[in-house]
Amino acid sequence: MSQNVNRLNGRRIVITRSPKQAKRLADKLIALNAEPLVFPVIRFEPLESAALSVALQNLATYDWLIFTSANAVRFFWDHLPEIPNKLPKVATVGSATGDKLTQLGITIDYTPDQFIGEQLVHGLGDLTGQRVLLPRAKIGRPEIVALLKQNGADVDDIPLYDTVTATPSPESLAALRQGFDIITFTSPSSVRNFLKIIQEVAPDLSATITQAKSFPIGPVTAAEMEKQAIPVTAIPHEYTIDGLIATMIATTKPNR
Does 59 share its domain with 152? yes
Does 49 share its domain with 135? yes
Task: Residue 53: count other Cβ atoms within 10 Å of its Cβ.
Answer: 12
Which pLDDT score is estimated for 192?
94
Q: pLDDT tens-digit profile of 189-239?
A: 999 999 999 999 999 998 888 889 999 999 989 999 999 999 999 999 988
**In which element (H, E) is residue 97 found?**
helix 95-103
Which pLDDT score is estimated for 174?
95
In a domain, 117, yes or no: yes
Which pLDDT score is estimated for 256?
60
Does 145 share its domain with 94? yes
DSSP letter (8 states) at residue 128: T
In a domain, 256, yes or no: no
Does 158 share its domain with 204? no
Closest Cα partner for 28 from 242, 250, 236? 242
Does 31 share its domain with 124? no
Does 201 share its domain with 173? yes
CA gap 15, 21 in Å, rounded:
10
Which pLDDT score is estimated for 81?
73
Which pLDDT score is estimated for 6?
65
Q: pLDDT tens-digit profile of 165-189?
A: 999 999 999 999 999 999 999 989 9
100-135: burial string, b at 16+ Cβ within 10 Å, e else: bbeeeebeeeebbebbbbbebbeebeebeebbbbbb
Low-confidence ranges of the chain (pLDDT < 50): 1-5
Last residue of a domain, one of 111, 140, 164: 164
In a domain, 72, yes or no: yes
Which pLDDT score is estimated for 134?
95
Which pLDDT score is estimated for 111?
87
- For the chain, what is the domain count? 2
Does 19 share its domain with 108? no
Does 14 share its domain with 70? no
* pTM for this model (two decimals): 0.75
Does 193 share its domain with 229? yes
Which pLDDT score is estimated for 11?
95
* Domain membership of residue 106 as a residue range: 45-164
Which pLDDT score is estimated for 1?
41
Which pLDDT score is estimated for 3?
46
Which pLDDT score is estimated for 59?
92
Closest Cα partner for 88 from 116, 115, 67? 67
In a domain, 12, yes or no: yes
What backbone torsions phi and psi does residue 95 show, to the nearest 5 degrees? -70, -35
145-159: burial string, b at 16+ Cβ within 10 Å, e else: bebbeebebebbbbb
Does 115 share its domain with 55? yes
